[in-house]
Homo-oligomer: A and B are copies of this chain.
Amino acid sequence: MKDYIIHDEWSIIEEGFNPENQRVSESIFSIGNGRMGQRANFEEKYTGDSLRGSYVAGVYYPDKTKVGWWKNGYPEYFAKVLNAPNWIGISVFVDDMELDLHTCTIVEFRRELNMQKGFLYRNFTAEMPDGKQIAVESYRFCSIAEPDAGLIQYSIQSVNFSGTLKVVPYLDADIINTDSNYDEKFWEEVDRGSNQKQSWITAKTKKLDFQVCTGMQVDIVFNGEYQSIIGDPVDRDRFVSKEFSKEISPGDQVTLYKYAAVVSSENHSKTNLIATCQRILEKVYKKGFVECLKDQEKAWKHKWSESDIVILGDVAAQQGIRFNIFQLNQTYTGEDHRLNIGPKGFTGEKYGGSTYWDTEAYCLPFYMSTADPKVAENLLLYRYNHLKKAIENAELLGFKDGAALYPMVTMNGEECHNEWEITFEEIHRNGAIVYAIFDYIRYTGDEGYLLRNGLEVLIAISRFWAQRVNFSNEKNQYVILGVTGPNEYENNVNNNWYTNHIAVWCMEYTMECLEKFRQSHSKELEGIIEKTGILANELDNWKNICENMYYPEDSTRGIFLQQDGFLDKDIRNVTELPKEDYPINQNWSWDRILRSCYIKQADVLQGFYFFEHKFDLDKLKRNFDFYEPLTVHESSLSPCVHSILASRLGYLEKAYEMYLRTARLDLDDYNNDTEDGCHITSMAGTWMSIVKGFGGLQIIDHQIHLNPFIPNGWEAYSFKINFRNHILNVKVSQDKVEISNRSTEMLRISINGTFHQIEPEQVEEIVA
């Protein structure tokens, strides 16, 4: 837990340099535009503790896995997002001594991530070891309008000295990836070059041959006058630079504009990579830094108009939620269905930058509600395009006849994870893929998606479940043995209620969809039947399984059991744990965690969250009252689900407590791990805690239902959602709810159980 970020409604601000928090700051102040991202490393040299990171969306490396004891079915590689060639570098020399904040005396320092306008700002005054002082001011952003471009304005002023100032903007492709299993370098040079205006390096990954051409074009302004670059450019293996030297006196200022382009073979033809890079450089250079920054502000204005949440009366909360929305929008824009949302986004390498079930379970609702429906559809298409590989993955594990198991962790559809209890057993993830389709259709009404792509996925996953169950003669019912539920603090259990439930739900939903289209779209359906080869007796089998599935329950307590045998545990509430045992995943051996009753994240309750429409409040209350007190919330994905359910139950304090645990998770470095990157996917959970939790948003029968409440300390809060071409702004105050409807049509919305007609471009006021 840290507390050095200054509270502000629209900006993340650090005043005074905190080198001990540099890695954390580098994560928090990251910038990105969905296609590239950059940790808040300094432009100039920095020899203090730092984790450098430039990331290019979709470019990854299949690193050799590190496995202690190999198991059949383990993947051969672990895909990881790569630290890519450095485009931000600017070396600064004061009379041949290089500027390095690690060795300078820092007179003044401030950095600010301007979330409203989408740029990173920094200024500082540094005294060199020989007493010379310079003042530096920099702006940096990854352009939304020109997503292959990053721009820097970097000004240096002499405070107290006369002498030579040398500025060396450079590109460096000699890159180390901290997260390399065998300390290998992943990049090699393909080409590099310079001309009068531009410099570039094309580098390729040693495997898979991703190519990235990184280029720069620079302008130097001295006391307001444009200068020409002089000095021999340095040009060595994987490195190019330009150089500018000037004799300066106190008060003189040199400003460098560095226009960079990061052009990847994922988006451009390899043969034209350099030309493309040069064209983009020329384009942004012509437009100029100031105009490009204006475009950036405009683009962010648009994003905020669809996704902002305003909290009045609590600046820390306001900053927290805006930070989360900002980072989510920096990470994924939904324009490219090959991309997805890594747990750390563009803010770190950890977890490889790959896709987890977080996307379907936590991120989809955010993007669905705050952007064009196409964005959410692209998240679904990502999985649809991986269907073939999911079928191959299931085959590797002994399944057949078109059954699909989506990977636990993936970049391109192939499994990347190798812990047997997760890779092979945490199969509930397959259910989340189906749930996302259901959720998308429920929200958007786009049932056509099923015919276009969805049904094929549904059928393949249902086939998996039908093969994964077995009939227990002992129980005279179907069971699912050997699984890991969402609560990863239990491994290889039998009949995890959540898994059994979502398995049956998948099969039922698939059959329901097939039945519906059999009546309405029999012709289109025929194509799908032919393509998948689905047979009537398969459906009979599914039906039989669904009707005869076993669910562990405790009838005395009226709860579902997390798994068989759960009640044999020594059941004591988390409050009985000694403080020094927290977090148990750092203090207890794994077996002790496994046999304890403690729950990492929602498991049975994840089912109540997903299938809110299937269980009444009494049932929810009994299960919540039993399981939440056993939950240690040691996953960043845990508190949001509990917050939402607590809101539903009217446990307002619990709801707010759980919300607080995620809202400023990274800003306050709550778990002491933000140095590795921000918790991007759980940020969507924070958003949900407000919209689905405090706001009580549900979609029932194509209509919005709200049951809002407002936490005690807040004056008011408002959120925006984009629902079927209506951009709604819902403002909740202590005594009323105001709703506006930016669209061309009236919308009927249920508020606290009563329907209201919200006319377009009007504000409806409802007394709470």
Contact = CB atoms under 8 A, between A and B. Distances in A.
Given A470-B570, A567-B473, A570-B470, A594 B482 contact: yes
Interface of A: 65-69, 71-73, 396-398, 418-421, 424-425, 470-475, 479, 481-482, 491-495, 564-565, 567-571, 585-592, 594-595
Count of this chain's copies in the oligomeric assembly? 2
A591 B424 contact: yes
Given A482-B594, A492-B492, A595-B482, A589 B419 contact: no
Nearest to A397: B589
Given A68-B67, A492-B491, A397 B474 contact: no
A495 to B, nearest CB: 8
26 contacts: A65-B68, A66-B66, A66-B68, A69-B419, A71-B589, A71-B590, A72-B586, A72-B588, A73-B589, A398-B588, A398-B589, A421-B421, A424-B590, A424-B591, A425-B591, A470-B595, A472-B567, A472-B568, A474-B568, A481-B595, A482-B595, A492-B492, A492-B493, A494-B565, A564-B565, A565-B565
A630 to B, nearest CB: 14
Contacts of A396: 589
Contacts of A65: 68
A55 B495 CA distance: 49
A71 B488 CA distance: 13
The 10 A-B residue pairs with the shortest CB-CB distance, nearest first, are A73-B589, A424-B591, A482-B595, A474-B567, A472-B568, A481-B595, A71-B590, A397-B589, A470-B570, A420-B590
Given A398-B592, A470-B570, A491-B492, 7 more contacts: A68-B68, A72-B585, A398-B589, A421-B421, A475-B568, A481-B565, A492-B594
B473 A571 contact: yes
B591 A397 contact: yes
A392 to B, nearest CB: 13
A396 B587 CA distance: 10
A482 B592 CA distance: 8
Most buried by B among A565, A570, A585, A591: A591
Contacts of A493: 492
A397 B593 CA distance: 10
A72 B589 contact: yes
Contacts of A594: 482, 492
A548 to B, nearest CB: 14
A565 B492 CA distance: 12
Nearest to A420: B590
A485 to B, nearest CB: 13
A424 B594 CA distance: 11
Most buried by B among A68, A470, A481, A594: A68
Contacts of A571: 473
A565 B483 CA distance: 14
A425 B592 CA distance: 10
Contacts of A564: 564-565, 568
Contacts of A73: 589-591
B479 A568 contact: yes
Nearest to A571: B473
A333 B425 CA distance: 46
A565 B494 CA distance: 8
A550 to B, nearest CB: 9
Contacts of A567: 472-474
Contacts of A481: 565, 568-569, 595
A494 B568 contact: yes
Contacts of A470: 568-570, 595
Contacts of A569: 470, 472, 481
Contacts of A71: 589-590
B72 A424 contact: no
A415 to B, nearest CB: 11
B72 A587 contact: yes
A438 B72 CA distance: 39
Contacts of A475: 568
A65 B594 CA distance: 23
A419 B74 CA distance: 15
Nearest to A593: B72
Contacts of A471: 570
A553 to B, nearest CB: 13
Contacts of A472: 567-569
Contacts of A398: 588-589, 592
A424 B69 contact: no
A420 B494 CA distance: 19
Contacts of A424: 589-591
A50 to B, nearest CB: 24
Contacts of A66: 66-68
A354 to B, nearest CB: 15
A472 B571 CA distance: 9
